[in-house]
Amino acid sequence: MQRKLISGIIGIFIALLIGAIIMLLQGYDPLQTYGALFNFSLFGLFPFATTLRNSVPLILTGLSASVAFASGPINLGQPGQLLMGALFATIGGLYFDLPPWLMIPVLLLLSMLGGALWSGVAAMLRKWFNMDEFITTLMLNMIADFFTFWAISYPFFDRSAYSPMTPQINTKGWLPIWGEFNSNVIVMILAFAVIYFVFNRLTAGYEWRITGHNSLFARLGGVKIDKNYVTVMLVTGALAGLAGGLVVMAGPHRFLKGLGANYAWDGVMIAVVANNGLIGTLLYGLFFSALQTGSLGMELITAVPKEFIMVLQAVIVLVIVAGRGYLDIFLDKTVAKRKARERTT
Amino acid sequence: MQILIEMKEIIKVFPPNVIAVDNVTADFRKGEIHAIVGENGAGKSTLMKVLYGLEHHNQGEIYLEGQRVNFQDPGEAIAHGIGMVHQEILLIPQYTVWENIVMGAEPVNFFGMIDRQTARQLVQKKIDEFQFNLNIDAKVDDISVAAAQKVEILKLLYRNVSVLILDEPTAVLTPQEIPQLFNELRRLRDLGHTILFISHHLEEVLSLSDRITVMRKGKKIATVQASETNKSDLAHMMVGRNVLFTTLREKKTVGKQIFSIENLTYIDGSQHKGLENINFKVHEREIVGIAGVEGNGQFELVNSIMGLIPTKEGSIRVNDVNLTKADILKRRQYISFVSQNRGKMGAAVKASILENVMMTHHRLNPQFTRWKGLLLNDQYARKFTEQIEQQFSVVMDRMDNPFHSLSGGNQQKVILGRELLLATPFVLLDQPTRGLDVGSIEYVHELILEMRDQNRAILLISADLEELFRIADRILVLHRGKIVADLPTDQTDIEEVGYLMLEGKERSCKEN
C-alpha cells in the first residue's frame, strides 16, 4: 500500500516535471500554467465542487473496469454500457412521474439495469458461443453508440430541438443540488462503498479476486467460475450504466448527442493506472478529474490550450505504469545486491 | 595443463533473494572436457550463463587467460572465443544448414549481399575439419535433432569459438545418438578445444569427461578427476546424503475401500484414447502409487478425478458416493488435491498467503464465513493460517504478503497444509515433491505418511520411482493410458517397474 502511494506520488511529480519541460520548450510559463490548472480545480469551493462532480463518471467507469480486470473478465464495454444506462434512465425520466424520493432511486436502478443488460449480452455471447468478451464488448460499444443515437434522433427526439436530443426528464428525477455540491457525488460514494465491501469482505468478492489471479486454481478450489464470470460482467456493466444515469440526472437532464464524451475510456485508463486497485481508482479518478476541470480555467488564463491536459494525462499514464514495474524491479535488485554482498563478507 | 578460465567467488542472486550461485570458485583448463554436475536447480546452468554473459553475477571475478573479463552479452563472450549451446535447439527450421550457421556473421560481397558461394565453402570447410557428417543444403526442418545439435555446435565453431559450453546436450538425443556426439566432442578436445558439459547423468559424465565439478544448492562441492571417482561418490556429493534410500513403508493392515475407479475410459478430441479401461481401488490407510513415464495418461487421470474433463465412460466413487458427474465443489468434499504445478493449479501466487490458505475451506467449513456464507470471517481465517504456519513449520514473514514471497518448499507446505486440513477421506497427490530440495522432499514424505495414519486413502502419482518405493504400499504402472501392472511394493523392485513403464509389459524371460 505504502509502496503504491509513494510510486504514485513520485510518478505524478515526474510527469508534471516532464509536462513543465514540454511547456518550456513551447515557450509557456509552467508555474503560471500549473497554478491556473489547480486554482480552477482544487482551490476554492466552486472549483472543488466542479472537480468532484466531474469525477463521478470517471470513477464509476474506472471502478467498473478495475473490478472486471481484477476478477478476470476483460470488460471493455464501459462506453456502451454507460450510454445504455443513460438511455434507460432518460426513458424512465420521460415517462415516470413519481415523488422524488422514489423517482431518483428508480431511475438509478434503471440505469444500472441498462448497463447490466448490455454487459449481459456480452456475457451470454461468451456462455453460449464462447465468444471472447474482449472483442464483443468493444463491438457492443459501437452498437450502443449508434443505437442510442437512433433513439434520440427518432423515437425520443425532442421536436423543438435542432440537433439529436431527448426532451428534459421529469424534474422529480433531477438530482438535488446543495449550493455548489451536486448530490451525484453521494451516489458515487455509496456505490464505491458497496463495491469495496463486496470486493474485499464478501465470499463472492474473494472468489472474484482469486479467479482474477488464477482461474484454474479457483476452479480446482471449488469456485464456480462460470457463474462468477456472469455476475462480474453484470455488476461491472451496472456500474458503468450507473455512471451514465448520473451524467443525465446531474447534468443536462436529457440525453443529448455526445453525452458519453470520453468518460468511459478515461475510466478504463484510470483503472490501468491504478493497477485495478479500488482505492487507487478513486484517487486517480479525482486527480484526473481535477486536471480536466482545471484545463478550462488554464486555457482561460494562459495561452496553453486545454488539449495540453491530454498530453499531461498520457505522460502520467506512461510514467506511472512504466515506473510501477521499474520500481519493483529496482527494489528487488537492490535486495539481491545487498544479499550478494552479505555472502562475501 | 594450462588454466584457461578462472571463475572466482562468483555469486548470483536472482531478484529478490534466490541465491542461484553461492560463492563458487572454479577453473577450467585448456583442452579438457569438464563436466558440471548437480541436481535440478543446483546452479550449474546459471554458473555457465554467467560465464557466457547471459546472466550477470553480483559478486566475483572471471579471468580468461589471466585477463579479467566481464561479458555484458553473449556476443562479447563469442568474440572472446566462448560459446554456449542451449538445451533447446534454437535454429530457424525453414532455413538450410549453412544459412543457419552463417546467420549473424555472413560473408558479404562488394554490394553488401550475402556471398553464398563463400559462405557455403566456409561452412563446408568447417564440417570437413571436424568431420561432422552433415549436408549443408538440407533444411533444418528435415534433419534429426542430433544433426540440428551439430549445427548448433558448428555455428559456434564457425565463429572460431574455442570454449564450448553444452547445456545438457544429451537430454534431446536418443541413446544411440549419444556415443556419436561424445566421439565428436572428444575429437574437438583433441584439436585443442575446451568443452564444458552440463549434465546430471552420472554415467555419461564419467565416460566422457576429464574433470568433474559437482554443485549442490548453488555451492561448489568439489572438482575431481573423472578417473579417480565413481558413480556413488558423485551421487553422494550431488545429493548430500547417501542415495541408498531407506524405505519408510510399514506393514499396516488396510481398512475399508474408500476410492474406486471403474472402467474409466477417456477419449480426447482427436479420438486418441488418453485413458483406457482404468480400474483400481484405494483403501483406508493405504498409499497407492502410480508410476509411469510422463504423458502416459497421468494428466488425464488427474483431470478426470478432479472433474476438469468430463467422464463419459466409467465411474469414480469415494465412500460409495458417485462423483462421476459431480461438480468440482462436490468432489472437494471428498478429495484433497495437491497438484504438480504450484503456480498454475495449486495457488494464486500473486494473492496473499492468507487468501491461498482459505481456498476451498471457505466453502466447506462454515466457520470461515458468516451470514450464511456471504461474509468472510477474517479472524477465523487468520487463526487458521497461524495454525498451518505452526503445525507445518512454515517459514513466513507476514500472512498478507504475496504467496510467491515464500520459498518453494514453504509454498508446498502451505498447500499440503491446506489440503491436509480439509476433512476428506481421499487424498490425490500429483507429483507433490517436484522441484523441491531434498530436505523438503523428506518432510513432504513424512506428511504423506501422517495422512495415511489418519485413516485416509492416498493416491500418489509420481515420475520418481525412488519416491514410490519409499512410501507407496502398492504401485500401479500406467502405460499408454492403461494400467499394465498392479504390484505390492515389497514384491517388486525398481528394475521391474522401470521396465514396465517403458515397455508396458513384463520382461518375457526374467533374469535371475
Does residue B340 sit within a domain? Answer: no
**Single residue among B204, B239, B274 that ends a domain in this structure:** B239
C-alpha cell, A259: 453525452
| Residue entry with cell 463495491 | A195
**Which residues of chain A are within 8 Å of residue B328 when distances are taken between CB atoms?**
219-220, 222
Q: Nearest by CB to A213, which of B15, B345, B350?
A: B350
Is B341 domain-assigned? no
Test B360 with A337 for CB contact under 8 angstroms. Answer: no
**CA pseudo-torsion sign A95, A101, A102, A104:** positive
Amino acid at B159: R
Same domain, B153 and B300: no
H or E element that contains B197: strand B194-199
Chain A residue closest in CA terms to B357: A221
Give the nearest chain B residue to A211 (CA atoms).
B348
- Our CA-based measurement puts residue B333 at a distance from the nearest CA of chain A, in whole angstroms, of 9
Alpha carbons within 13 A on the beta-carbon side of B470: 20
Q: What is the distance between the alpha carbons of residues A266 and B273, in angstroms, rounded to a whole number?
A: 51
Q: Are B264 and B313 contacting, i.e. CB atoms less than 8 angstroms apart?
A: yes
- Give, for B298, the enclosing helix (H) or strand (E): helix B298-306
Number of domains in chain A: 1
Q: What is the DSSP letter of B108?
A: B
Looking at the fold, whether B170 and B62 belong to one and the same domain comes out as yes
Sheet with strand B18-29: strands edge to edge = B18-29, B3-14, B59-64, B67-69
**Distance (Å, rounded) from C-alpha B413 to C-alpha B400?**
17
- Domain-embedded: residue A183: yes
Residue A16 falls within a domain, yes or no? no
- Contact A86/A69 with Cβ under 8 angstroms? no
Residue B302 CB coordination number (10 Å): 22
Helix then strand count (H, E) for chain B reads 17, 22
Residue B465 inside a domain? The answer is yes
CB contact (8 A) between residue A219 and residue B328: yes
In 3D space, the residue among B488, B491, B495 whose CA is nearest the CA of residue B474 turns out to be B488
Best of B13, B377, B401 to mutate (most A CBs within 10 Å, chain A) = B13
Closest CA to A64 of A271, A212, A253, A306: A271
- Contact between B12 and A340 using a beta-carbon 8 Å cutoff: yes
Of A217, A222, A333, the CB nearest to B348: A217
Q: Which residues pair with B285 in a beta bridge?
A: none
Q: If you measure CA to CA, which chain A residue comes closest to B11?
A: A340
A222 touches chain B (CB under 8 A): yes
Question: How many CB atoms sit inside 10 A of residue A178's CB?
Answer: 9
Identify the pLDDT of residue A235: 97
Q: What CATH number does residue B317 fall under?
A: 3.40.50.300
User: What would the mean pLDDT of B21-40 be, rounded to a whole number?
Assistant: 89
> Does residue A290 form part of some domain?
no
**pLDDT one-digit tens code per residue, B194-247:** 999 988 777 788 889 999 999 988 889 999 998 898 877 887 887 776 655 566
H-state helical runs in A26-132: 30-39, 45-71, 78-95, 100-129
Alpha-carbon span A143 to A338, nearest angstrom: 56
Residues B277 and B218 in one domain: no
Q: B16 vs A219: CB contact, 8 Å cut-off?
A: no
Is the CB of A343 inside 8 Å of chain B's CB atoms? yes
Give residue-wise pLDDT tens across range B362-391. Answer: 988 888 888 888 899 989 999 999 999 888
Task: Say which of B16, B19, B346 has its CB closest to residue A332.
Answer: B16
Q: Is B351 on the interface with A (CB under 8 A)?
A: yes
State the alpha helices, DSSP H only, in A251-277.
Answer: 263-273
Q: To the nearest whole angstrom, how far is the Cα of B386 from the nearest Cα of chain A?
A: 20
CA count, 13 A, side-chain hemisphere, B305: 29
- CB nearest B351 (choices: A213, A220, A340): A213
DSSP category for residue B406: S
Q: Considering only the beta carbons, identify the residue of A213, A222, A344 that sits closest to B59.
A: A344
Which chain B residues are closer than 8 Å to A199 by Cβ? none
Are A332 and B58 within 8 A, CB to CB?
Answer: no
- Quick one: pLDDT band at residue B510, thresholds 50, 70, 90? very low
Same domain assignment for residues B481 and B361: no
Inside any domain, residue B247 = no
Q: Which of A201, A217, A335 sits opposite B375 (nearest CB)?
A: A201
How many interchain CB pairs under 8 A, A with B?
104
> Final residue of a domain: which of B239, B273, B291?
B239
Structural domain boundaries, residue A178: 57-278
Query: Which residues of chain A lie closer than 8 angstroms to B15, CB-CB?
Result: 329, 332-333, 335-336
Instruction: Select the residue from B339, B362, B378 to test the A interface by mutation, using most A Cβ atoms within 10 A.
Output: B362
Cα B194–B196–B198 angle (5° rounding)?
165
Cell match 498454475: residue? B344
For B99-129, the pLDDT digits (tens) are: 999 988 888 888 888 888 889 998 998 888 8
Q: Is B280 helix (H, G, I), strand (E, B) or coil?
A: strand
Q: State the Cα–Cα distance between residues A152 and A149, nearest whole angstrom.
A: 5
DSSP labels for B300-357?
A: HHHHHHHTSS---EEEEEETTEE-TT--HHHHHTTEEEE-S-IIIII--TTSBHHHHH
Interface test with B, best of A71, A213, A219 (most B CBs within 10 A): A213
In a shared domain, residues B469 and B410: no
One domain, residues B62 and B122:
yes
Phi, psi of B510 (to 5 degrees): -70, 130
What percentage of residues in chain B have a pLDDT greater than 70?
94
Kindly state whether A204 is in contact with chain B, defined as any CB-CB distance less than 8 angstroms: yes
Chain B residues with CB-CB distance to A326 below 8 A: none
Yes or no, beta carbons of A213 and B348 under 8 Å apart: yes
Query: Angle A309-A312-A316 (CA atoms, 0-180°, nearest 5)?
Result: 140
On whether both B118 and B171 belong to a single domain, the answer is yes
Average predicted confidence (pLDDT) for chain A: 91
Q: Do A213 and B344 touch (CB under 8 A)?
A: no
User: Chain A residue closest to B401 (CA)?
Assistant: A1
Task: Name residue B275's beta-bridge partners.
Answer: B266
Distances (CA, A) of A34 to A18, A163, A315: 12, 36, 15
Rounded to whole angstroms, the Cα distance separating A243 from A83 reads 9
Which residues of chain A are under the pLDDT cut of 50?
none
Instruction: List, as ranges, residues 302-341 from B with C-beta within 8 Å of A.
Output: 306, 308, 327-329, 332, 337, 339
Instruction: Please name every residue paired with B18 in a beta bridge, in sequence order, or none if there are none.
Output: B14
Total domains in the fold of chain B: 3
**What confidence score (pLDDT) does residue B507 get?**
61
Question: Which residues lie closer than 8 Å to A14 by C-beta, 6 or more apart?
Answer: A319, A323
Exposure of B98 by Cβ count < 10 A (0-12 exposed, 13-18 middle, 19+ buried)? buried
- Of the three residues B358, B387, B422, the one that is the final residue of a domain is B422
CA distance A252 to chain B (A): 40
**What average pLDDT does chain B have?**
85
B30 and B1 Cβ atoms separated by less than 8 Å: yes
Closest to A335 (Cβ–Cβ): which among B17, B347, B350? B17
Expressed as residue numbers, the domain containing B358 is: 348-422
Residues in chain B: 512
Q: Is the Cβ pair A217, B332 closer than 8 Å? A: no
**Of residues B274 and A264, which shows the higher confidence score?**
A264
Give me the pLDDT at residue B512, please.
40
Structure confidence at residue B511 as a pLDDT band (50, 70, 90)? very low
Distance from CA of B59 to the nearest CA of A (A): 7
Of A203, A224, A337, the CB nearest to B376: A203
The identity of residue B166, as a single letter, is: L
Q: One-letter amino acid identity for A253?
A: H
pLDDT tens readout for residues B402-417: 898 887 778 888 998 8
Give the contacts of B293 (CB within 8 A, at least 6 positions apart). Answer: B463, B479, B501, B502
d(CA B150, CA B130): 11
Whether residue A87 lies inside any domain: the answer is yes
State whether A214 and B375 contact (CB < 8 Å): no
Alpha helices in chain A (DSSP H): 2-25, 30-39, 45-71, 78-95, 100-129, 133-153, 184-201, 203-213, 215-220, 225-250, 263-273, 278-301, 308-344
CA atoms within 13 A on the CB side of A114: 31
What does the block give as the cell for B140? 533444418
Would an 8 Å CB–CB cutoff place A219 in contact with chain B? yes
Between the CA of residue B318 and those of B20, B175, B331, B381, B427, what are the distances in Å?
Answer: 44, 43, 9, 28, 11
User: What is the pTM for the complete model shown?
Assistant: 0.78
Among candidates A203, A209, A343 on the partner chain, residue whose Cβ is nearest the Cβ of B374: A203
* CA distance, residue A317 to nearest chain B CA (Å): 23
pLDDT (tens digit per residue) in B329-342: 999 999 999 988 88
Residues of A in contact with B418 (CB under 8 A): none
Residues of B in contact with A341 (CB under 8 A): 58-59
Q: Is B246 part of any domain?
A: no
Is residue A64 situated within a structural domain? Answer: yes
Cross-strand pairs, B288 = B459, B474
pLDDT at B437: 63
And the C-alpha cell for A180?
A: 455548489
Query: Does B171 lie at the interface with A, CB-CB under 8 angstroms?
Result: no
- Does B360 touch chain A if contact means CB atoms closer than 8 Å? yes
Q: What are phi and psi of A343, to 5 degrees?
A: -65, -35
- The pLDDT score that the predictor gives to residue B438 is 62
**Does A33 map to a domain?**
no
CB-CB contact of B269 with B452 (8 Å): no
* In a shared domain, residues B397 and B311: no
More confidently predicted of B170 and B377: B377
| Pair A297, A279: CB distance under 8 Å | no
Structural domain includes residue B251 = no
Which chain A residues are closer than 8 Å to B338 by Cβ? none
Amino acid at B13: V
CA B75, distance to chain mean position in Å, is 29
Are A336 and B14 an interchain contact pair (Cβ–Cβ within 8 Å)? Answer: yes
Q: How far is A243 from chain B (nearest CA, A)?
A: 27
Nearest-neighbour CA in chain A from B379: distance (Å): 12
Name the nearest CA neighbour of B214 among B231, B190, B192, B193: B231
- B14 part of contact set with chain A, CB < 8 Å: yes
The answer to whether the beta carbons of residues B139 and B93 sit under 8 Å apart is yes
